[in-house]
């Protein structure tokens, strides 16, 4: 790990200003992803701004009937919150499917959204990776890519986003609230928050330099069956081969979002109109434009089978 300096921010705007003021600075909260990358010298921030004491660790009800989740709410506390378990069960289930109990105790809401989209080659500094060094090349395209993207990928990167929480946030149409150094705030729809790789896979979100996440807001609860099904190579502590977040109201219709398929949580609203036609028709719409390799082509079949299991659970 390379040497760095450290400070504690006194307010969200002060934290954002510190990142702007100091080249090579980064925010740190739980550090469950950043510290690992610093140890490998994949991330080498010169300065860390600790945001843990900014009071962003509360879950409040909104006037519109939803929930406002502070950026520093720990994953364990969010999954256990009575209102989340009752009204946003898909979110609670997604959180509990991720990482381990120890990591969930440290990981924050904002940090979960911001964890790096990555594949094994991102961690291997002996291999080219366009995320670590733009223009170096993508080792995964012609290498081991069994777990990687079949949707939304590019010639520059085929990594998949690792977050389970973000998939549930996508199906719930959450909004990400932020603040900048000048105190200006904005709300970013979760659909627009993460970027596809295109020609710049090193840029993973639509955040500006120094922009700090302060909260994530959920709209009014959606009724019906909430389900989160994660298929992975081992029973715990593994990224998804595919995951499905579903909110399926009685009487037809519903929402679906997917993990393990793309560089960002994946939702195809057109596919949701086919839910009543069954898993095969829905999967065909979800997979429109899919590009597979010989190693990950099995994911197309896995999408249909996983949807079938979710629909059976919800009795669709």
Residues 170, 266: Cα–Cα separation, whole Å: 8
pLDDT band at 142 (very low <50, low <70, confident <90, very high): very high
**pTM for the complete prediction?**
0.97
Q: Is 315 left (phi over 0), alpha (psi -120 to 50) or beta?
A: left
Parallel, antiparallel, or unpaired for β 212-218 and 67-70?
antiparallel
CA distance 73 to 77: 7
The whole-number pLDDT of residue 236 equals: 86
Is the pLDDT at 316 greater than 80? The verdict is no
Tens-digit pLDDT profile for residues 85-103: 999 999 999 999 999 999 9
163 contacts 75 by C-beta, under 8 angstroms: no
Distance CA(120)–CA(106), nearest Å, equals 23
User: Given this model, what pLDDT does residue 315 score?
Assistant: 84
Torsion of CA 10, 4, 70, 254, to 10 degrees: 160
Contacts of 49 (CB under 8 A, 6+ apart): 7, 8, 9, 15, 18, 19, 25, 26, 27, 28
pLDDT of residue 252: 79
Model confidence pLDDT, tens digit, residues 241-282: 999 999 998 877 899 999 999 999 999 999 999 999 999 999
Q: How many helices (H) and strands (E) does the chain have?
A: 13, 11
- CA pseudo-torsion sign 36, 115, 18, 201: positive
pLDDT recorded at residue 248: 96
Determine contact, residues 246/226, Cβ cutoff 8 Å. yes
Q: Which tokens sit at 74?
A: 């720990």
Helix/strand/coil percentages in the chain, nearest 5 = 30, 20, 50
Task: Name residues whose C-beta falls within 8 Å of residue 243's C-beta, 6 or more positions apart in sequence.
Answer: 94, 97, 164, 167, 228, 229, 230, 231, 258, 259, 260, 306
Residue 148 has a pLDDT of 98
For the chain, give the mean pLDDT. 96
Q: Which stretches of the chain are DSSP H helices?
A: 12-21, 34-39, 75-80, 82-87, 89-96, 101-106, 109-114, 120-123, 165-171, 190-193, 269-272, 279-286, 298-314
User: What confidence tens digit (pLDDT) does each residue in 8-38 have?
Assistant: 999 999 999 999 999 999 999 999 999 999 9
- Can you tell me the distance from the alpha carbon of 168 to that of 247, in angstroms, rounded to the nearest whole number? 9
- At residue 75, the pLDDT reads 98
pLDDT at 132: 96
Please give the average per-residue pLDDT across 36-55, as a whole number: 97
Q: What per-residue confidence (pLDDT) applies to 198?
A: 98
Q: Long-range CB contacts (< 8 A, 24+ apart) of 206-209? A: 207/178, 208/180, 209/19, 209/20
Averaged over 36-56, what is the pLDDT? 97
**For the chain, what percent of residues have pLDDT higher than 90?**
96
Say which residue the tokens 């995320």 belong to.
131
Q: What is the mean pLDDT of residues 173-196?
A: 97
């Amino acid at each position: 790990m390379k040497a760095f300096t450290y400070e504690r921010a006194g307010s969200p705007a002060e934290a954002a200003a510190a990142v702007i003021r100091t080249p090579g600075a980064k925010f740190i909260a739980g550090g469950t992803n950043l510290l690992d990358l610093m140890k490998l010298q994949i991330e080498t921030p010169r300065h860390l701004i600790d945001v843990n004491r900014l009071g962003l660790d509360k879950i409040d009800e909104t006037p519109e009937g939803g929930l406002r989740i502070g950026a520093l709410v720990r994953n364990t506390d969010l999954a256990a919150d009575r209102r989340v378990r009752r009204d946003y069960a898909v979110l609670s289930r997604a959180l509990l499917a991720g990482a381990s109990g120890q990591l969930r105790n440290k990981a924050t809401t904002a940090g979960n959204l911001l964890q790096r989209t990555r594949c094994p080659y991102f961690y291997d500094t002996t291999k080219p990776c366009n995320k670590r060094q733009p223009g170096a090349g993508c080792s995964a395209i012609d290498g081991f890519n069994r777990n990687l993207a079949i949707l939304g990928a590019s010639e520059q990167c085929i990594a998949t986003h690792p977050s389970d929480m973000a998939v549930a946030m996508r199906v719930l149409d959450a909004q990400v609230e932020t603040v900048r150094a000048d105190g200006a705030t904005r709300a970013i729809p979760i659909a627009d928050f993460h970027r596809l790789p295109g020609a710049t896979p090193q840029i993973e979100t639509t955040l500006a330099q120094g922009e700090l996440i302060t909260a994530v807001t959920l709209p009014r609860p959606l009724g019906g069956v909430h389900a989160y099904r994660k298929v992975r190579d081992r029973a715990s502590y593994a990224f998804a081969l595919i995951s499905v977040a579903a909110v399926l109201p009685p009487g037809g219709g519903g929402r679906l979002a997917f993990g393990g398929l793309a560089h960002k949580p994946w939702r195809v609203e057109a596919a949701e109109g086919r839910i009543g036609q069954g898993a095969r028709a829905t999967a065909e719409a979800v997979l429109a434009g899919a590009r597979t390799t010989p190693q990950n082509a099995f994911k197309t079949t896995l999408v249909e089978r996983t949807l079938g299991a979710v629909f059976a659970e919800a009795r669709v």
